[in-house]
């Protein structure tokens, strides 16, 4: 017996999803990770980070427990570069002054930002990296659980 299936499609799902992600930038709403760079705190969304950065994909992939508040401290990246990279991740583009381009691309390489340091490819389940590459990529930052201290 044939079962007839109906196909339901949300025509502007991609647009709605993109607009929602873009609106979340610079808002603490639903932020589940804080990046710390040069003493500044950036509340961000893990979904955006793992979607746009192979580095963050691996950082969060190997967590064994879910922390309420996660903090990732970036030590080898300038705040100005991080801010530009976050704009790129949330909006898909960023305007960069010529003299900032070299530093930005180094930061993008460090974090393996897709579309800048990692070529665009067809989506796959998991990017392929060896355990050694993962360990080498963890050197630019330290990760710790946030405490309630001010």
CB atoms within 10 A of CB 74: 20
14-145, which class in CATH? alpha beta
Which pLDDT does position 147 carry in this prediction?
46
Q: What is the pLDDT of residue 41?
A: 95
- Can you give 55-67 as a three-state secondary structure string? HHHHHHHCCCCCC
**Residue 38 pLDDT:** 94
Query: Please, where are the H alpha helices in the chain?
Result: 13-24, 46-52, 54-61, 79-91, 101-111, 131-137
CA atoms within 13 A on the CB side of 91: 12
The CA dihedral of 124, 130, 134, 135, to the nearest 10 degrees, is 170
- Write down the pLDDT at residue 27: 80
Backbone angles phi, psi at 17, to 5 degrees: -60, -45
> Can you give the pLDDT at residue 119?
80
Distance from C-alpha of 99 to C-alpha of 88, rounded to nearest angstrom:
17
Please state whether the predicted TM-score (pTM) of the whole model is above 0.75. Answer: no
CA–CA distance, 29 with 45 (Å, rounded to integer):
9
Residue appearing with tokens 């930002």: 113
Averages of pLDDT over runs of 10 residues in the chain (150 residues) are: 86 90 84 93 94 93 71 94 96 95 96 90 58 51 45
């Amino acid at each position: 017996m044939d079962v007839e299936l109906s196909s339901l499609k949300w025509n502007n799902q991609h647009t709605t999803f993109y607009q929602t992600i873009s609106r979340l930038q610079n808002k603490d709403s639903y932020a589940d990770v804080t990046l710390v760079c040069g003493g500044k705190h950036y509340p961000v969304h893990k979904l955006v980070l793992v979607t746009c950065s192979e580095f963050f994909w691996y950082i969060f992939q190997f967590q064994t427990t879910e922390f309420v508040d996660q903090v990732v401290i970036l030590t080898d990246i300038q705040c100005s570069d991080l801010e530009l990279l976050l704009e790129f991740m949330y909006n898909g583009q960023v305007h960069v002054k010529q003299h900032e381009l070299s530093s930005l691309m180094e930061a993008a390489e460090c974090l393996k930002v897709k579309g800048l340091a990692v070529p665009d490819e067809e989506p796959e389940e998991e990017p392929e990296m060896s355990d050694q590459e993962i360990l080498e990529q963890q050197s630019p930052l330290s990760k710790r659980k946030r405490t309630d201290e001010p």
